[in-house]
Amino acid sequence: MYKQAVGENPVQMNINGKAVAVEADGDMPLLWALRDVIGLTGTKYGCGAGLCGACTVHLDGAPVRACQTPVGDVGTAKITTIEGLSASELGRKLQAAWAALDVPQCGYCQGGQLMAAAALLTETPKPSDDDIDAAMAGNLCRCGTYTRIRAAIKQVAGVTA
């Protein structure tokens, strides 16, 4: 599934449960390593400055902005991208709720939204509205689907709307 890396100093990474050798300089943001070198394009470029959250991935379960995370800083942390979200039951539930509640408009931000939501519910299974606001404030949706993002999170968490 992943492109074979070739070259003298590949970086060893664990992506979506697989060991991957990535041919990238240490200062390359994880975002571009995922998209251009490995060929996983679900992680999106929106701002390149940690302002929009479209590139949100998990490092050992914690949400980070891939555009602000140099490959050389990842170390042995396990990387989960939107392509790997369905490996967990929570991830599959979130994806199903997102699709059934028809959250997306253009859909470009939704991978990052889902990664942020999965990290929230892992940490806080029954979030309050304030918890949702705090966890999701870093993820822009230019189409303005926030109403449904909130509804989908609450549905999966089983908290009342």
Residue with smaller CB distance to other proteins, 64 or 145: 145
Shortest Å, Cβ 147 to other proteins: 5
Q: How far is the CB of 62 from other proteins (least distance, A)?
A: 19
CB of 108 to other proteins, least distance (A): 3
Comparing CB distances to other proteins, the nearer of 47 and 62 is: 47
| 56 phi, psi to nearest 5 deg | -65, 125
Q: Which positions lie near other proteins, rule CB under 8 A?
A: 24-25, 27-29, 32, 35-37, 39-49, 51-52, 54, 81-83, 85-86, 94-95, 98-111, 114, 132-134, 136-150
Give the Cα separation of 95 and 114 in Å (integer). Answer: 7
User: 71 is written with which tokens?
Assistant: 């490959």
CB nearer to other proteins: give 62 or 134: 134
Task: For the CB of residue 157, give the shortest distance to other proteins in the complex, in Å.
Answer: 15
Side chain identity, residue 8: E
Q: Which is nearer to other proteins, 51 or 62 (CB)?
A: 51
Could you give the count of Cα atoms lying within 13 Å of 13 in the half-sphere of its Cβ? 29
Give the closest residue to 112 by CA, choosing from 40, 47, 48, 63.
63
In contact, 43 and 116? CB cutoff 8 Å: no
